[in-house]
Amino acid sequence: MEQYKYGPLVYNTTNSDDDSGNYYWPGEPPVAYDDYKIPVDGKGYQCLDASQCPLHPDYKVTDTHMEHNEALGCTIPTLDHFNSWFEDAFIKAEPRDLAFFVLRWLNFQLDDSPATSALYEKYAQLDIDDIINAIWPSLKAD
């Protein structure tokens, strides 16, 4: 049986003997991918909870989990908020990986959102490592 993946998630399911993944999906097992490249089950339902998982493109971050970012001049999700989901799922995520996931989430938001607009206007010409360094200076790699 194929082991399905989404971003850093490698699915383990109840009907598979392969438990080498890092994300335990309790629902119906994935059988394909949708247009977002999210695994879907046999009924076409996504195997990723949009209301709980910050990796989901439609995930909504509440204001209490946002912080002002000087580099962008607007609010963005906190790394701690994203990290709390990973910890709850028993997945280790490094700070620079969390920053990448926040940027990935921002990229899925509407183009007219303040953070997405600022990201494209200020940093579109940089590579991902330079963008992370600019937005989160404390995460600069040595």
Measure the CA–CA gap between 127 and 35, rounded to whole angstroms. Answer: 25
Global confidence as pTM: 0.90
Report whether pLDDT(1) > 80. Answer: no
Q: Which two tokens stand for residue 57?
A: 């493109």
Q: Which residues contact 87 (CB under 8 A, 6 or more apart)?
A: none
* Domains of the chain by residue range: 5-40, 63-139
Measure the CA–CA gap between 85 and 9, rounded to whole angstroms. Answer: 12
Select from 39, 35, 48 the least CA-distant residue to 2.
39
Report whether pLDDT(86) > 80. Answer: yes
77-93 average pLDDT score: 96
pLDDT in tens, 87-99: 999 999 999 999 9
128-135 vs 95-108: helix axis angle to the nearest 10? 100
pLDDT in tens, 60-75: 999 999 999 999 999 9
